[in-house]
């Protein structure tokens, strides 16, 4: 269930992840971190959908969040699935931030995730086909499967054995018995072992990725600012191959003490944790304040020249980046314009969602509409066709 503590290289990677995550969080204003978190939530949804073979374009997700759904039933269902993912991840983020008694690497938490996600899906997406009998099975949100299944070449445990396997899962990853470093390694190991148990008819992959997100967040690794799903998607062949390899029985008496190959589990954990470090470092590189400010300035100058934004826009966007947020009444002082002109400039920026606020009169902070994400954050998403 967990690589032996002699797997020192995994601990070293876990320490690298802690260091990289702390460095990423330290370079951003907490208010800006909140705005980036909303962006990363949508990004995480896009990449998790992609892994599931549901290629929902970022613009379709953006439309869905504004309740602008496609007229085509299949595309509309995928949009609703994306909204479900984002709403559940928001609930995850808020619950982890506000509660101390949450243990993400547990079967109870997994069932909550499955229930919350599936209960938001359209009826058409709650039906799955058994690959052997070809009979249709309706997913019941949060309920364990009651029949046997095949997943590729893998035969998960019998339905009657699921309670025993999940009890062992809960015991093995109990955070009370693990150091922070070992909990990070456990997050990677649990990712495979839960998928191997395959307790639900469908949705296991999405649930286990949300479990990993919640676990990293609870461990203080700032993953409102980065997405492991992005890294897994960019290396999806290795991801699926190593998951399948870790399904194999142990190769010899030296290959761990359990029924499955510990060597293969270590390889998967190494891949998973290195992917996490890579994604944290990538987000660190594109969120360096000075370089981000330079990209915002280039974008704003281009928009002002094209008369799509008013002069003075950059001064307000720069203030939001540096200070996190500012009072609307300070727009005149920040821009050096008259009160009326400054108010108009601010209004234009809020209309374009470049500045956002919780209420029409509260302080404003940076927003990240999709049209600027592609220019402010290079390669965050695959290149969008014009």
Query: What pLDDT is stored for residue 7 in this prediction?
Result: 72
Domains belonging to the chain, first-starting first, are 8-286 (1.10.3290.10), 289-376 (1.10.10.10)
pLDDT-derived band at 334, boundaries 50, 70, 90 = very high
Strand partners, 366: 355
* Contact in structure between 381 and 373 (CB atoms under 8 Å): yes
Does pTM top 0.75 for this prediction?
A: yes
Query: What pLDDT is stored for residue 251 in this prediction?
Result: 84
| Tokens 């990293």, located at residue | 216
Q: What is the pLDDT averaged over residues 154-159?
A: 94
* Contact in structure between 32 and 224 (CB atoms under 8 Å): no
Query: What pLDDT is stored for residue 255 in this prediction?
Result: 77
Q: What is the pLDDT averaged over residues 127-139?
A: 85
Q: How far apart are CA 324 and CA 147, in angstroms?
A: 52
Over residues 216-267, the pLDDT tens digits come to: 999 999 768 999 999 999 999 999 999 999 999 988 877 777 889 999 999 9
| Tokens 């009657």, located at residue | 160
Q: What is the pLDDT averaged over residues 359-370?
A: 94
Say how many Å lie between the first and final Cα of the chain, rounded. 47
Query: What pLDDT is stored for residue 6 in this prediction?
Result: 59
Over residues 179-210, the pLDDT tens digits come to: 999 999 999 999 999 999 999 999 999 999 99
Q: How far apart are CA 240 and CA 262, in angstroms?
A: 17
pLDDT-derived band at 268, boundaries 50, 70, 90 = very high
Q: For 30-51, give the DSSP string.
A: HHHHHHHHHHHHHHHHHHHHHH
Over residues 290-316, the pLDDT tens digits come to: 999 999 999 999 999 999 999 999 999
pLDDT-derived band at 5, boundaries 50, 70, 90 = low
């Amino acid at each position: 269930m967990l690589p032996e503590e002699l797997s020192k290289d995994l601990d070293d990677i876990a320490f690298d992840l802690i260091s990289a995550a702390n460095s990423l969080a330290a370079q951003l204003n907490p208010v800006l971190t909140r705005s980036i978190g909303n962006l990363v939530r949508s990004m995480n949804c896009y990449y998790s959908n992609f892994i599931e073979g549901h290629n929902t374009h970022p613009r379709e997700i953006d439309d869905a969040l504004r309740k602008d759904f496609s007229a085509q039933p299949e595309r509309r269902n995928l949009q609703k699935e994306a909204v479900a993912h984002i709403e559940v991840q928001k609930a995850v983020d808020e619950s982890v931030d506000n509660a101390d008694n949450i243990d993400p690497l547990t079967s109870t938490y997994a069932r909550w995730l499955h229930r919350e996600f599936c209960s938001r899906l359209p009826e058409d997406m709650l039906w799955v086909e058994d690959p052997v009998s070809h009979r249709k099975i309706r997913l019941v949100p949060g309920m364990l499967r009651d029949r046997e299944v095949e997943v590729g070449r893998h035969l998960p445990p019998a339905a009657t054995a699921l309670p025993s396997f999940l009890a062992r899962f809960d015991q093995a990853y109990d955070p009370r018995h693990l150091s922070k470093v070992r909990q990070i390694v456990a997050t990677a190991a649990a990712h495979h072992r839960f998928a191997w148990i395959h307790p639900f008819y469908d949705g296991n992959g999405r649930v286990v990725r949300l479990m990993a997100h919640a676990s990293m967040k609870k461990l203080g690794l700032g993953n409102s600012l980065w997405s492991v799903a992005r890294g897994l998607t960019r290396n999806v062949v290795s991801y699926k191959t190593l998951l399948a390899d870790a399904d194999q029985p142990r190769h010899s008496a030296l290959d761990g003490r359990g029924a499955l190959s510990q060597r293969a589990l270590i390889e998967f954990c190494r891949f998973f944790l290195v992917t996490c470090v890579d994604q944290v470092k990538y987000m660190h590189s594109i969120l360096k304040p000075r370089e981000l400010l330079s990209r915002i300035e280039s974008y704003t100058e281009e928009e002002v020249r094209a008369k799509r934004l008013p002069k003075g826009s950059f001064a307000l966007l720069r203030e939001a980046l540096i200070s996190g947020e500012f009072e609307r009444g300070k727009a005149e002082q920040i821009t050096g314009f008259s009160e009326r002109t400054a108010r108009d400039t601010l209004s234009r920026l809020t209309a374009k969602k470049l500045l956002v606020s919780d209420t029409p009169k509260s302080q404003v902070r940076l927003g990240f509409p999709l049209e600027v994400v592609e220019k402010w954050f290079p390669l965050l998403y695959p290149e969008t066709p014009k």
